[in-house]
Chain A
Amino acid sequence: MNRVCTEHLTPGMILAKKVIGPDKGVVLEPGAAMTQEHIEALRTLGVSAVFVRFPAHMEPQREIERQVQEHVRNFFIFVDPDHEAFVELYRIAVQRSLKAFRDGWIIPCEEVLHAKNVEHLSDLFFKDAGEPGDIVRHEVGLASFPDIYFKIREVLDNPKSSAQDVARVVNTDVGFSAKLLKLVNSPFFGFSTTIDSVARAVSLVGVKEISTLALGISTINYFQNIPPELMDMRTFWRHSLRCAVFAKLLAAKKNLPSDRFFTAGLLHDVGRLVIFKNMPYASVEALLYARSDMVPLVEAETAVLGYNHTDVSKLLLEAWKFPAVLIDIIAHHHAPEIAHAREEAGIIQFADIMANVAEISAGGLFALPGMAQEDWKLLGLMPRELTLLINLHDEHFEEITSVLL
């Protein structure tokens, strides 16, 4: 007996348990081979899944494979089906989902993927009455940003700052310095010796790198009070951390300063938090639109709000005086072609896509955004290298999460 979502039912499957309607009448008796009409009736009724047996001609393994492929394919609806990277990512996602299924993962039904209701929320501005700048001004006005952040920024802004200066600032917050040390000591950061002090970390990793990493970590603590109905903060930051892990791996392959990319990945969607916080109702519209139309969330934001999270990220990070290089690659991760550093922005774009792929069998909700051929080519990756990347991510992700979340 298998539990199958209504959208994956095919005629011929045999109902294993009866289905009851609102008036307690029996909609369908068990034992009958289902017809197209039966399936349509279940859809109308809003039944999300039923228990079935497969008829003799349906091989259970093949049937599961079909359902998994159908499910995974939905996430690729927005991308170029001839793009070598996406073809490879599709294969990876199907394999991962099949493995997850064998380990007990249940293919989520369409209904489960629908966003929740947030009737009690209201927006700060009506659409068109508020530009990204207004939301950011409001947000920055409220800000009680962690003190440590501003101290780090002062150090970062001063060209004469030394490793000692950074260490001194970071050490003023015990919890924070412990986090930073745990992070750089994790196998993912790959130092052969144990780093037992912040001063040592700074001398090994560099003043700039440690400082930007510190900026990223302090931002995680800043955003609270996001309505949990929209997206719980853990889910949000887990996605961001996956992106950070992929960004660091991709940057390291290209011999770019990888810790900076870790931070950029960590903060790539930060504007979305500001939108959630200030425009919760419009955010729901966007979430519903993204789900019902199966378009990437960034696309739905543009349709509903007239701008998207990258517009907000840009203004927010500018107001917080983040380093310009970071702002450039974060603000353009959905449009590397207009970034100053196109290739670097492309790294974050692809890291975000990989993070989405990793999530398909782990609670992912939204269609993958696309990526232009040119930007993929700039990465200089071969499709066959992607499996290794995702394996490295799997190896380190939970550990990094336990340090930072």
Chain B
Amino acid sequence: MIYWSDNSIPISILDTNSDSQIKKLKNGWYRVISQKFINYQIVCFSLIKSEYAYQNDYLKNNYSKSFNLPPEIDITLERDKYLIKGVDSRFLFSIQLNSTLHLSEKNIYIILLFFILGFIFFSSYLFGIYNKTKFLKSYTLIKFLIYFIFISVLRFILFYFDFPSLLYDSKLFSPYYYAASEFLPSLGDLLINSSIFLHLSYLFFTQVKLEALLKRPVLIKKYTLSIFSVFTIIVFFYYYVVICKSVIYDSSIQMLMNDIFELTFESLIGSFIIFALSVSFILVSSKLFYLCKRLTYSNINFVYVFISAIILFLLFPFQIFWKEGFFYPVFLIVFFLILFLFDFLKDRINIIQRIFILILFFSFFSTFTFYKYNDNKEIEKRKLLVQKLSAEYDPVAEFLFKDIMLKVKSDTIIRNQLKRFYPEDSIVNYLKNNYLKGYLSKYSQQITLCKDFQNLIINSANNYNVNCDKFFYDKITMNGYPTQTENFYSLDFGSGSNSYIAVIRFFDDASDSLLRTSLYIELDAKFISKDLGYPELLIDKKLNLIRDLSDYSYAKYVNKQLVKRFGKCFYDNKLTTEVDSSGFRNFNKDHFNHILYNVNNRVDFILSKQKIGFLERLSPFSNFFIAFTLFLFVLVFATPYSRKIFSLTFNFKTRLQISILSIILVSFVLIGITTFIYIANLSNEKNSELLTEKTHSVLIELENKLGNETKLDRNISATVNDLLVKLSNVFFTDINLYDTEGVLIASSRMQIFEEGLISDFMNAKALYELKVNGKTQYVDKENIGTNEYLSSYMPFINNDNKLIAYINLPYFAKQGDLRREISSFLKAYLNIFLFLVIIAIVVALFVSNYITSPLRLIISSLSKIKLGKKNEKINWKSNDEIGNLIIEYNSMIDQLSISAEKLAKSEREVAWREMAKQVAHEIKNPLTPMKLSIQHLQRAWKDQVPDWDERLTRLSNTIIEQIDSLSVIASDFSDFAKMPGVELECVDISDIIIKSVDLFKANDAANISFNLNITENCLIKADKTQMLRVFNNLIKNSIQAISDKENGIIEVSVNPKDELYIITIIDNGIGIDKSQQTKIFSPYFTTKSGGTGLGLAMVKSIIEGIGGKIWFESDLNSGTKFFIQFYKFEK
């Protein structure tokens, strides 16, 4: 072999000789293409499918990426139905299915997403139609509750029949990730339920009109309703806590919220569920809270209601809520306070600020819940682990022996040696050198061969004989416990050390008496050992042997004396802590949280976990905050609210806030990225340096031991292996040794090579750099499966200054530590980053408030400017740009008051002239018929006409009518003149309307029916008398419009809309002609014979005088709708 491109193929020279086009090597199937030219042969290996002896997180039996095939398909060299051929049409291999093919989890998630969206939109469609039907039109709450039940039943049916079934075949819908109860059996079901619940809460928030409940309720009903609302909020909160707890406690996904880099799709689903429930809770509770607030009027009443609701809550079996400590009730009270605050600062905080406060609150709440239950869960898990540890001792040895025992049993060399009566020593040495090295060398080993019926001489004071098999049989029955591996027993002599005995019987061929031998291998662990740790890479996940102990430390005490320890924690030699009655004790010491477990009278185990630092503790908070913000963005853009947000025109203050925030965010992100790259590089460099230093130390040690050798090759690999194992335990690293041609001589972890995870050939680039370029050290990234690690190489030069080998330190055993190091830095950075962002947001709010405060002062002063009144000047001391603006403003105010005076004077003159003209005109009109009537009477009197009496009556009636008309004109003008004398107060507009309607009901309109749809307590700021005049006028107009029409109906309704009341007066009278509609509010315009045309002009002037608005819609002959809009009264 003169060249190889890399060390990922575990191939030997022999493998390249055969002509086969497909090869099954130890780590997978390869397509082999070779070509000969001149004296060379070039062989190319292309990976088809990785296939390892066992699988774990790093080693997975997958097809090469470009093939994109599921692992359920097996490769076989037998000719089957599905043949794969090469380009030359030669048969290569067949494929066959080993199990049914399933859709990948990713595809199932996509289908689930579309299914949920489809369901929600379909439900929106159904509800839209249902809500518009006349059924229970005025009872939106009952209507909604019916719909809620309908959707719940529909969901239950789908759930009961496992529809759609393809979803229920997946892991997400199995108890794999989560299972809490019969109705919440999987994470997928919980996801669907919470999404539907979010949708229904949204419908409740937007579609249900609780104002109907405010309609004239009696006192008792009012308070029952309030208490019920608050009670519902508390019960909802209770279930919200229960489900949040369940998501954390009953799931295997661990949420992983403390490590964003280990975030999986399932943990995202978990946080989405918490988010959906939080939003549902906010929507439902804020709606109920404001209903209750309006029902109770005052804060003190609300407090009474709140206390009553809590008492009611206590009557129900929800005590578990209080058992969890007082934290959750405190959270609930804080939530209510936030709602109070929102209500109190209605105008001062906008929707974005409210959302920000709510996200902060719920992130904090989720973090608290996460720690509360995750810590409990971790402690429970640790208790189990410590029990297992105390029972199992050394899972790695047990795992290794499973394989060793099979191999030894079928080893032909041993079988031959046994048959030929080889000396026992030779077999023992063979076993030690070939099977019991590496990891097992930490045990002192005793190997005994028991031939059939042979006796064993026990070296004791008496030197007695005993049957060999019986001796071990007794030993096992008295002190042994079975392990997971068959015929491999753990021995408990009470010494506290790990002892094992393996029994290998060569009894399979009973006829061959020579083989009737039992082999007993005894392993005894050395005291106070500290393991290097076994790489996760070499553990079969299926055996479930290894529990990830990388985060833990443990110690074993016998008679309170330390006998064994593992991990980072330094335990005391003497155990001073006692367990409590449960057999466990949980305590904190030296930055570790320990769980002490008392195995028996003499043996104690401690399993410890490093306590999380403050910044790391904050991780879930940042992660929840970021996740909630992102979910909210998606949610807002998926609902019609996005249109509202896009149509918002931001004011100067908001623009300023957004600008400050964007600058801060962009700079933070840029600094973050550069720091991350810098730190990652630095950390890599640091690790390379560390590794180089370590390699150097190992090299010096090796030079001491092997410096005199002139040549290192495979012949002495057994000795070198032992040496490397010893050194690896000293330096806590694995060590490989390659010869000068780059072929493996020895390794401290031969298993890596034996299992074919990498080839015996050295990293080609390293060889090139060291051998050809003459470098003295080289560090490169290598990988086994998906595990990437740093690997360091150095040439090994003997005492004669001759290169005899290359030393290599692969750092895969510590790769997990490295990953954790970088991830913990990033976590800390992310937390600081988020905190700075939150501080920046608060600062931005203050700064923008500070900068815009003079502008707001000017705006409020400008809005108060009124002509004809004394306007106040602004007092501003500093001589800045704002100061100049204010000087200009003040001088403008002076000029304005002068101009206003002049204007008022001229206006008064004009108004008087106009008035005089109008009065003269109005008076003249009836005077002419009066004059004519009197002249007519004079003439009749003079002429002594025969019908004098009749004429007198007729003409005097005409004169009286004209005098009445004059009187009407006089009172109208008098009313008009009275208008400026207004007294604004808080009036209930519904009261006034009812009074006005009652007045007309009693007198004018016997043939007209009134429909009132009025809510009580519609408070506005207005003049009571003027308001009465407004509604008298409008209702009178409507009655006159209906006049003699049969079935006349006048509908009056008051509807609240945001900060307004909209009052509608609808009649089915004659309506207003289109040509007249524009003039209807002009003074002196009338369509009636006896009107002055001042009525509607006066109405408009009164309404607009208090900031209201009036408009109308009318169709000739079908009626008129008048709309009046008033602002709600605010204290």
Q: Do A and B come from one complex?
A: no
